Amino acid sequence: MTRRRKLVLFLLLPPVLVALVIALAFVPAVQTAVARRVLASQPGMTASVERVAAGLSGVRVTGLRIEQPGILLDVPSVELDVPLIDAARSRVDVRRLVANGWSATLTPAALVAAGAEKGATGKEPAAPEPFDGLFALLGLPVDLSVGTIESSGRVTVITTPGAATKPLVADISLGGGNFSAGQTGKLTVGVTAEGVDVPGGAGAEKISLEGVLEAHMPTSRSFDSLSLHLAARAGQESATVKVAALAAAAGKPEAYSLSLQTRDTTRALVEARRDPAAQAVEGSWQLDLGDADLAPYAAGIVLPKFAAAGSGSFSYGFASGNATGSGRLQVQGNLADFVPEMPRTEVVVATEFDAALTGDTARIEKFSATVSTGQPLVTVRAEQPFAVDLATGVVTAGDTSADLVRVALDGVPLAMAEPFLTGSGIRVQGEPVRGAWVARLQGDTARITTIEPLTVNLTEVTQDGRAIAARLALSVDDLAATYAASGWSASIGKITLRAAGADAVQLTASARQTIDPAAAARAAGATAAGAPVTFEANGTVQPAALASQPLLAALEGVTAGKATFSARGTLSAVGDLAARATLALDGLRTRAAPATLPALTLDADVSRTAAGTLTVSAPVTLRNAAAGNRASDLTLKATLTPAPAGNALDARAQITSNLFYIEDAQAFAALVPADNSATAPSASPTSPASPPPPATTTPAAGPLWAGLTGEVTLALKRVVYSGELEIADVGGAIRITPEALKLEAIKAIFGADSDLKLNGALTFDAKKRDAYALAADLAVNNFATAPWLRAFNPGQPAVLETRLNVASKLTGAAPTPAGLVDDVRGDFSIASAGGGICRALSGDLAEQVNKTGNLASTAVSILSGVLGSKGGKAAKAAETAQEVVSALRQIASSFEEIKFDRLSLVASRDDNLNAVLKDLTLVSPELRLTGGGQLTFAEGVPLVRQALNLNVNLAGKGKLATWLEAAHLLGGEADADGYAPFFTPVVLGGSLEKVDTSALTKAIIGKAIGF
């Protein structure tokens, strides 16, 4: 290639390449690819386009689709005739814009959610730009002219996503143009909408809207007037909305107006004027509007009936932030239309106000608000002008001796409280609520005082149709509060609840916060930061006065006494709590127990850290004045620590006592009404009751202690049941894990050389139908029976005096913990630790033998008189009878107290919860007793008082065998151990507390008389 050709190629190549690039830029395929790349790069948006074709005279776009959260836009085609060369010279000449057949689907709920998510980015919001007027905002950065605009499409608004309600559909058309310098452009708007078909609504009414937007452009980059005229029609109704804005000249005030007219009457009007010199806007407003004016255009949604009327003025400084507002407004409507739970009552709310905000100072010149239903219900009124420094909280007024504000409840019906009781089933009836308070200034402190106590008189309170309270009178007197820059306080001098003509409850309460002035100076507007709140409450309750209330029927047996309580503490700004509470029950008497119940005192210290750790120390004291002022003590100490994830709680607790009298605690059982539906068990043998059908239970997802771990330890030094009956050194631990409650080294001492040991676990397995399982080992060594049996039957000798060893393995499984009570199984091996005394066979045998002996003597005397000469036979008969009676007396005497060498049996539970007694063996030198039976279960009845049915076989040896033979009561020869059997088995009934031996007595006497 020659040098000349190379030079020509070098000079022509750049222009050719540029021309090639320019040519490619006007190729639709290239333009489409570029457009798709630009659309794909937009964050938070999914977009696509079928084709883009741009030329020097305009742009054609087809198949544009844009999707954002809450918005879906489909545009089949857009034609924009605008010379691109002019755009390069900052001039946009839109000769024609055509976009038809587009559709937009809006979901407001998704839009709001997306906006909330975007606003939660944590970034500081940008400082607002100063407002220089509407027309400054409309100023254009380029020279603009618009020839003609033609557009039509459909907007669909999905008001309830996923619901069966119809969406709001609106067909929209736009047309017009002629926007250019020195001209007034006009744009016509047409909208036809199908209303939302809301359940219970007024149906889907068609709404048509025709509007004209006019704007004058003094230059190609500015506007100086704007007006919008909308005419709406729904059925026979029509409404007109007018919006206008006018700028007389650059730098001159701008005027704005907005009005709504229906039936040739102005319903709402807002007029405003912006003064550029003052950088402020001021205006006025008028309102005369009701639901009937808006209902035709509510798109089928039923509006609550209302009527609102008022007028006023306002101003706002854009640079200073100062604002004023004044006016009067009255709104009338039915409460039930706004809050369905409220009664159907016509209410009028009337307000009058005149207020200003200057810097950090809010000034109230005038304020009043009244809620009435023909008669005033609530009134709030400013009695004189006053100001509040929002930075320091200081209140100032012209006359510090006069009232600032008055608030009065003039008679609020109790039915208005029902929305706050929704879901509880509670309904209240009674007189209207009344009360009045005023606020006054004392120096720089605002003080609220009571001028009329708050009173609530209840005639009846029901829950789900069942009466829970009646004829109660509540009054709140001496309600006071103060507020100043140095802090605040609030107190209630007296809360009284009267019932049955007496003051049943009396309370006082107070709270206060003192603010550090230095901290207040450092944190203007947040003066309370870090300052703790202290509180205190005291009260007295008369249980006897509350006993008349249906909900507290359990107290109906209380005839005297009172409960007093108090609480005081501090709560820090970060959530730290330190409090002390006391409760005292004193002088309680009941109909069931005429003696005064022991006095109870509870002192609890409670603290909570900001991290949520709760610590409690709660000692309880019982003092029985009738028993030498003896005292019982019990203390609970616990620390509850939440897990960092907040889904679990670790508990560490100790229950301790030095001395505790069970009898004094049981005295409070007199507060529980007796259950007269239960009947005492029969002492005679009964057939086992059929077990109740198994309850249908739903398997639990977690154990009863789900979310709780930790340990509870016991340390009770002395637990006294009666004068001679006590348990010492009760100890051990209950460990809580996610899978089990473990009983570890539970122990107790019953007396000298006698103790109890218990170890076991209650486990949970969600995979099993019987999710809860119990396994435990119980051992009782050298247990003395006499003190315990005498405690159940004072004044009577114990049926059994011995020491027992008890060993058992307890097992059970059930779907619920309550079910375990009925399902626990295990054989109790019981054996005496040496000999003892049994009085189970004493009964009335001796008494019956004496009667039989007297009868025999009388019979012999009569027989002697009849036989006469045959006196020898009579004497022989008399001798024999006396021998039998003498033997019976010896037998009865030996049965009174059987001194045995060995006692053993095995006890277990059957499916009917009866205690089955097996392999009973009692061996003494002259008597052997064997057999078995059961104690029939009766709910709520102690084991020693449950019905006994015991089948026994007796056998005698030595002297007893001789006596049995003399009374002809033997039924066979002696066995290898020398015991001769009784002639028949016998049944013992009654209970372990008092054995019924009437069957044995009847068998012995019957056999003797028969002989």
Q: 99 or 751: whose pLDDT is higher? A: 99
- Looking at the domain assignment, is residue 462 inside a domain? yes
pLDDT of residue 573: 83
CB 879 within 8 A of CB 886: no
pTM of the model: 0.69
- Which of 485, 501, 530 is the C-terminal boundary of a domain? 485
pLDDT of residue 676: 47
Looking at the chain, how many residues does it have? 1011
Q: Is the pLDDT of residue 4 over 80?
A: no
What's the rounded Cα separation, in Å, for the pair 220 and 141?
10
- Looking at the domain assignment, is residue 358 inside a domain? yes
pLDDT in tens, 158-205: 877 766 667 888 899 999 999 999 999 999 998 888 765 544 445 446
pLDDT grade for 716, boundaries at 50, 70 and 90: very high
For 478, residues 6+ apart whose C-beta sits below 8 A from its C-beta are 450, 491, 492, 493, 494
pLDDT grade for 794, boundaries at 50, 70 and 90: confident
User: Which residues constitute the domain of residue 455?
Assistant: 322-485
Q: Is the pLDDT of residue 753 over 50?
A: yes
- Looking at the domain assignment, is residue 658 inside a domain? no
pLDDT grade for 682, boundaries at 50, 70 and 90: very low
pLDDT of residue 857: 58
pLDDT grade for 858, boundaries at 50, 70 and 90: low
pLDDT of residue 565: 96
For the chain, percent of residues with pLDDT exceeding 90: 42
pLDDT grade for 38, boundaries at 50, 70 and 90: confident
Average confidence (pLDDT) over 709-716? 96
Q: Is the pLDDT of residue 801 over 90?
A: yes
Residue type, 1011: F
- Looking at the domain assignment, is residue 330 inside a domain? yes
What's the rounded Cα separation, in Å, for the pair 288 and 266?
8
Residue type, 889: R
- Looking at the domain assignment, is residue 593 inside a domain? no
Residue 594 pairs with which residues in a beta bridge?
none
pLDDT grade for 519, boundaries at 50, 70 and 90: low
- Looking at the domain assignment, is residue 930 inside a domain? yes
- Which of 485, 511, 541 is the C-terminal boundary of a domain? 485
What's the rounded Cα separation, in Å, for the pair 645 and 643?
5
Mean residue pLDDT across the chain: 84
- Looking at the domain assignment, is residue 582 inside a domain? no
- Which of 436, 470, 485 is the C-terminal boundary of a domain? 485
- 393-402, 511-520, 530-539, 589-598: least confident range: 511-520
pLDDT of residue 525: 40
Q: For the residues of 85-144, what is the DSSP string, one character each?
A: HHHHTTEEEEEEEEEEEEEEEE-HHHHHHHHHHHHTS-PPPPPPPP---HHHHT--SSEE
Q: Is the pLDDT of residue 5 over 70?
A: no
How many other C-beta atoms can be found within 10 angstroms of the C-beta atom of residue 246? 18
pLDDT grade for 277, boundaries at 50, 70 and 90: confident
Q: Is the pLDDT of residue 644 over 90?
A: no
Q: Is the pLDDT of residue 529 over 80?
A: no
Q: Is the pLDDT of residue 241 over 50?
A: yes
- Looking at the domain assignment, is residue 169 inside a domain? no
Q: Where are the alpha helices (DSSP H) in 684-829?
A: 785-792, 817-823
Residue 203, phi-psi category: left (phi > 0), alpha (psi -120 to 50), beta (remainder) = left
What's the rounded Cα separation, in Å, for the pair 714 and 967?
58
Residue 888, phi-psi category: left (phi > 0), alpha (psi -120 to 50), beta (remainder) = alpha
The position carrying tokens 């820059």 is 485
CB 271 within 8 A of CB 259: no
Q: Is the pLDDT of residue 693 over 80?
A: no
pLDDT in tens, 595-632: 899 999 999 999 999 888 999 999 999 999 988 899 99
How many domains does the chain contain in total? Answer: 2
pLDDT of residue 192: 86
Average confidence (pLDDT) over 112-127? 63
pLDDT of residue 17: 45
pLDDT of residue 678: 41
Q: Is the pLDDT of residue 874 over 70?
A: no
CB 614 within 8 A of CB 639: yes
pLDDT of residue 901: 95
E strands, 752-887, in order: 754-764, 772-784, 800-801, 803-814, 828-832, 836-838
pLDDT of residue 660: 95
Q: 468 or 34: whose pLDDT is higher? A: 468
pLDDT of residue 8: 47
